[in-house]
Amino acid sequence: MSLLFPFENAYAQLPAQCFSKALPTPVKKPQLIRFNEALARTLNIDFSNVTDDELAAVFSGNETPENSEPLAMAYSGHQFGNLNPQLGDGRAILLGDLIDVRGQLMDVQLKGAGRTPYSRGGDGRSPMGPALREYILCEAMTALGVPTTRALAVVASGEPVVRQQREPGAIFTRVASSHIRVGTFQYFALRRDEEGLKAIADHVIERHYPEIDSTAEDRYLQMFKAICKAQADLIAHWMLLGFIHGVMNTDNMTVSGETIDYGPCAFIDAFSMNKKFSSIDQQGRYAYNNQPAIGQWNLARLAESLLGLFPGDEKEAVAAATEILGDYSHWHHSAWQAGINKKLGFSTVGDEDDAINRAENDKAFSERLLKILDDGRLDFTLFFRRLSDLADQGSNADRASLLALADDPEARKSEPLLTELNAWLDDWQTRLSEREVDLVTVKARMHSVNPAIIPRNHRVAEAIAAAEAGDYTVFDKLLSAVEQPYVSRPEFAEYEQGPQPEEKVLRTFCGT
Ligand code: AMP
Ligand code: MG
């Protein structure tokens, strides 16, 4: 029996300069760690009667499936603000794209499958740690409801990868609605290759934004607008969950609006507005509260790349793009506000004219809370989850449990902070009782948007350490925990806790 993929290879039909053909390099002793059967089913992959060894052979790149036209995609990118004209898939190989059960074209890509023409000095490989990290993070994001690339499989290569030290290697299979990035457009714009630029743009419209009339004169401007809207929403979604991407280079920003590239990313435990984890992000360029502005900066680079395709002369094109980039901020803020209001239990976004909001509008009210969370370094996830628990408690609410979430023991005893928090909670309860009818429903609604379980750094680190020593059970359990983030289950109670002081992960690494 063999594994059957209904590959279309639509990307391989694009002009030759969009990619380079590249075959995976076989590995010594592939061993299947995990195969995502549920996802495979949605991709119309036939895996009936396939053994783990056969899965390992295909998802390590040792065997190339029938109908696959393996290739590495070309792209450029601004990395930490510096333009690198020649990046491309240096350690990723697209096996092909196929139509899933929704009728959506999806990419299946091996990551860590060996060198490609874009590898530059790299070995084309991936250590097992980052591969497992990406698996957990992207599946957690899916369960949390955030658009993201997905994990189809992970296979141990049986070969070491040399980084700071020797580490076990792995191949990760990533699924995405496409791997086209802002940097893909930059690649063609930099080369003044209008054929390539248009081919990719037409492909993106057909693939991601089919509602755009493909004959409209301003279709590329409409595409740009749709991409900006998708990113405004995506970044709001991240922020609402305390997620820090960590490496928002233009080559790590998709045009589909899916989260991609789980390198040094992390969820915040103790909240701080300018939190960063990544060891290479010295200046905090990609810190938590910089993400919306960096998103806009990246989209401005996209606009520059597309300018020649927009209607009118250059001045008109710039004016149109600038207006959309301005709209991006509004879209982002309204997505954030709608989301934070939901997290606080409000079923509406207050209108500035209504009585409750006249004194203090929703924006100021939520900002007041973030300031408290920041001042006390409160655990972001646990705060909203515990707040949800209090929604229907009225004056019986146990507020002490909230301040106990402060990271700093001093903050837990801080009188001014306690006063601030109490005042805010009084106002919150007043607003809830004035704006909402049924507080039991409010509580359930809050639980459905404020997760109990996120893939906390120390838990991810623990799962990776066990796997590197040959024990995958910790990884499997963590995965089961994060797959249902909005329900508290006794068997996963430990995953609801924040880290103990000695468990705190302060830094994350790219792990390439
Ligand atoms: P990333 O930091 O994963 O976004 O990667 C940035 C660029 O470096 C991309 O072009 C990657 O394909 C390339 N790259 C990262 N790691 C490797 C590696 N081990 N071998 C070859 N290329 C790599
Ligand atoms: Mg990348």
The pLDDT tens digits for 425-441 are 999 999 999 999 999 99
Assign 237 to helix, strand or coil: helix
What tokens does 107 get?
Answer: 């990419």
Distance 81 CA to ligand 2 centre (A): 14
Q: Is 357 a residue whose pLDDT tops 60?
A: no
Q: Which residues surround ligand 2, an ion (CB under 5 A)?
A: 252, 261
% of the chain at pLDDT higher than 70: 97
Residue with the nearest Cα to atom 16 of ligand 1?
Answer: 512
Q: Is 226 a residue whose pLDDT tops 90?
A: yes
Residues 6+ apart with CB under 8 A from 139: 36, 150, 151, 479, 482, 483
Residue with the nearest Cα to atom 15 of ligand 1?
Answer: 512
Higher pLDDT, 163 or 353: 163
- Binding site membership of 91 for ligand 1 (Cβ less than 6 Å): yes
Q: Give the confidence band of 354 by pLDDT, cuts at 50, 70, 90.
A: low
Distance 473 CA to ligand 1 centre (A): 29
Distance 247 CA to ligand 1 centre (A): 12
Q: Is 203 a residue whose pLDDT tops 90?
A: yes
H-run or E-run covering 120? none
- Binding site membership of 510 for ligand 1 (Cβ less than 6 Å): yes
Q: CA–CA separation, 511 vs 130, rounded Å?
A: 6
Q: 324-338, 393-407, 440-454: which has the minimum mean pLDDT?
A: 393-407
Higher pLDDT, 361 or 76: 76
Residue with the nearest Cα to atom 22 of ligand 1?
Answer: 90
Q: Is 81 exposed, middle or buried (0-12, 13-18, 19+ CB in 10 A)?
A: exposed
Residue with the nearest Cα to atom 7 of ligand 1?
Answer: 87
Q: Which amino acid is at 63?
A: E
Assign 243 to helix, strand or coil: strand
Q: CA–CA separation, 50 vs 165, rounded Å?
A: 35
Its pTM surpasses 0.95: yes
- Binding site membership of 511 for ligand 1 (Cβ less than 6 Å): no
What is the gyration radius of the CA atoms in the chain, in angstroms? 24
Q: Is 277 a residue whose pLDDT tops 70?
A: yes
- Binding site membership of 254 for ligand 1 (Cβ less than 6 Å): no
- Binding site membership of 178 for ligand 1 (Cβ less than 6 Å): no
**Catalytic residue (choose from 97, 233, 251, 269):** 251
Task: Report DSSP letters for 9-53, one per residue.
Answer: -SGGGS-GGGEEE-PPPP-SS-EEEEE-HHHHHHTT-B-TT--HH
Using one digit for the tens of pLDDT, what is the confidence trace for 387-415? 999 999 987 778 888 888 877 788 888 88
| pLDDT value for 485 | 98
Question: For this structure, is 471 an active site residue?
Answer: no
Mean pLDDT confidence for 95-124? 98
